[in-house]
Structure 1
Amino acid sequence: MTRSNISTLKLTMLAMAGASLITLAACSDEDTSANGIVQPDAAQAGTSDAAGSTVQAEEPAGTDPEAASEAAPAAQTSESSSGQTLTPAAEVPESSGSVDVADLMSEQALPDIVQGDPEAPVTIVEYASMTCGHCADFHENSYPAIKEAYLDTGKAKLIIREFPFDPVSLAAFMMARCAGDDQRRTAMVDVLFDQQSTWATAESPSQELLKIARMTGMGQDEFVACLDNKELQQQIVDVQKKGETEFGVSATPTFFINGAKYSGSMSPENMAAAIEAATPTN
């Protein structure tokens, strides 16, 4: 099945479930400083995301793609729900620090949406921006294998937290939060990453997001009402601020794997190695 077909299938499932979508009116000419969205510091500028915002997205030490491909396979493998195996990288990527898991899992301005078994021994928290090209790259090239090998098998759980770098990303996250229950919100995030190239850099991102909203059964009035929800907007900004001030998040994607911090898109092999290293032995 092609990626386009997968996106269409997810949209169809959302529509059949009666998912209500999000509004994009929030993507107007509002002053970004007014909504509290963190802008990347010029001194930390690195790569550019899909919407043109410059963000730091360094590859963590030990995650060089060529080095990973040349490394000998690790002895331990993880079997996915489909019977395929994911071989972790021979060396665990070097983290850029760590935070206490209890602090990381403290109450947020918005409830966390957990993918996988809530009681899984390994917790992965991803801070992402919906317009971040590196985030889309991870969800396209690494997430499916990680989901099969670890989320679907109860070995790990994934939580995606909002860290918008621009008003368009904020609007997309609001749209996902308005999509309905946890399953619908997760599906909407998948669709938005899948179709990022069609809306994130469009001349009128709001119109492109509205098209996606309509395909899921959300009317224009619902869409506008969602994006005009100032309380939801502030809650997303508060999630971002907590990630920045308490956990040192300054780039997207940033992953915490049982508290160990990794910045930049991770290959499935490198993430698998980090998950295996974080898995309790008893």
Structure 2
Amino acid sequence: MTALRRFAFACLAAPLALGLAACGEDAATDGAPRGEPIAAIPPPAGQSWVEVAAVTPEGGVRIGNPEAPLKLVEYASHTCHVCAEFSQQGAVPLDGYVEKGVVSYEIRNLVRDPVDLTIAVLARCSGPGAFHPLANQVWGNFDALMATVQSNGEALQQASQAAPAQRLQAIGQASGLIEFFAERGISRDQAMQCLANTAQAEQIAEASDAQAQELNITGTPTFFLNGTRLQPTSWGPNQAGPGLEAALQQAGAR
């Protein structure tokens, strides 16, 4: 059975609850790279590094200089409150590091539930350049979105029983996500067409499943810098220690 079918045939409420329990609980190492300050690298004429976006071979979406000396990868879930907190605190300052051409930032989906998968598909609906802004919009409105999801539990349960080709469309409608993305430039027709693309949804879900197993990722967010797993799950310092910004600066970002 494919990863999409495992998500699609599961009861919606249970996976969502399990996913929330796994949010922010991944074990990690504290081997962040170290380096001297790195000078800014100018973008091509007329471009901004933040606007340079591409889908990677791993299925993530990267913004920034593809040859940046510091390559940051986040395994993230759109239904994870810790990921939302990271975005709310870190999205703007992280863009500042990306803009200097020193850091590239890639988001790879770690799909935890059908609503998460639905958002992952919708966020890709306008191409790679819109993915990061739309993902940050979801995380920036996290509490209101999740309240709508939780309040529509019965409708979402019914949506999860729809035929496979229509299941994500039904979840998108029952969860209010179609309307949310329509307010951000993705028309209802465009959203429904994207959600009917089961091949893309399966690709996202299967990449998530394979990479989680390969890298032993059990919680979100999980960060890697130049291939090294990082300890922080927050942008700034907290009770667990220094945040991700400190790790970037230790590696040479300024």
- Residue of structure 2 aligned with 1:232, choices 195, 200, 207: 200
For residues 277 and 239 of structure 1, what CA distance do their matches in structure 2 show? 30
More relative contact order in 1 or in 2 (CA 8 Å, sep 6+)? 1
- Residue of structure 2 aligned with 1:184, choices 130, 145, 164: 130
TM-score by length of 1: 0.61
Matches within 5 A, 1:58-97: 58=25
CA RMSD of aligned residues (A): 3.5
Matches within 5 A, 1:113-152: 113-148=61-96, 150-152=97-99
Residue 144 (structure 2) pairs with residue 198 (structure 1): yes
Contact 1:251 1:263 in 2 (8 A): no
Residue 103 (structure 2) pairs with residue 156 (structure 1): yes
Contact 2:56 2:62 in 1 (8 A): no
For residues 139 and 88 of structure 2, what CA distance do their matches in structure 1 show? 8
Tell me how far 1:137 sits from its aligned partner: 0.3
Tell me how far 1:32 sits from its aligned partner: 2.6
Tell me how far 1:218 sits from its aligned partner: 3.0
For residues 131 and 215 of structure 1, what CA distance do their matches in structure 2 show? 19
Give the AA of the match of 2:172: S
Secondary structure of the structure 2 residue equivalent to 1:32:
helix
Q: Deviations over 1:127-150 (max 9, x none)?
A: 0000100000000112322221x2
Q: Deviations over 1:238-270 (max 9, x none)?
A: 220222122111110000011221356223363
For residues 181 and 128 of structure 1, what CA distance do their matches in structure 2 show? 18
Q: Comparing 269-278 with 191-200, which one deviates more in the overlay?
A: 269-278
- Against the structure 1 CA distance between its residues 263 and 242, is the aligned structure 2 distance closer, same or farther, given a 3 Å change threshold? farther
Residue 198 (structure 2) pairs with residue 248 (structure 1): no
TM-score by length of 2: 0.67
Give the AA of the match of 2:251: A
Tell me how far 1:33 sits from its aligned partner: 5.9
- Against the structure 1 CA distance between its residues 233 and 266, is the aligned structure 2 distance closer, same or farther, given a 3 Å change threshold? same
Task: Structure 2: give runs of 5+ residues left out of the alignment.
Answer: 31-35, 41-54, 153-170, 238-242
Contact 1:258 1:278 in 2 (8 A): no
Q: Look up the match of 1:272.
A: 245
Task: Structure 1: give runs of 5+ residues left out of the alignment.
Answer: 1-29, 41-47, 64-75, 81-104
- Against the structure 1 CA distance between its residues 135 and 61, is the aligned structure 2 distance closer, same or farther, given a 3 Å change threshold? same
- Against the structure 1 CA distance between its residues 243 and 263, is the aligned structure 2 distance closer, same or farther, given a 3 Å change threshold? farther
- Against the structure 1 CA distance between its residues 119 and 276, is the aligned structure 2 distance closer, same or farther, given a 3 Å change threshold? same
Tell me how far 1:52 sits from its aligned partner: 6.7
- Against the structure 1 CA distance between its residues 147 and 222, is the aligned structure 2 distance closer, same or farther, given a 3 Å change threshold? closer
Contact 1:177 1:185 in 2 (8 A): yes
For residues 115 and 180 of structure 2, what CA distance do their matches in structure 1 show? 14
Contact 2:91 2:136 in 1 (8 A): no
Tell me how far 1:206 sits from its aligned partner: 3.2
- Against the structure 1 CA distance between its residues 164 and 263, is the aligned structure 2 distance closer, same or farther, given a 3 Å change threshold? farther
Which stretches of structure 1, 4 residues or more, deviate above 4 A after TM superposition?
A: 59-63, 76-80
- Against the structure 1 CA distance between its residues 267 and 145, is the aligned structure 2 distance closer, same or farther, given a 3 Å change threshold? same
Residue 188 (structure 2) pairs with residue 220 (structure 1): yes
For residues 248 and 62 of structure 1, what CA distance do their matches in structure 2 show? 12
Q: Percent identity?
A: 25
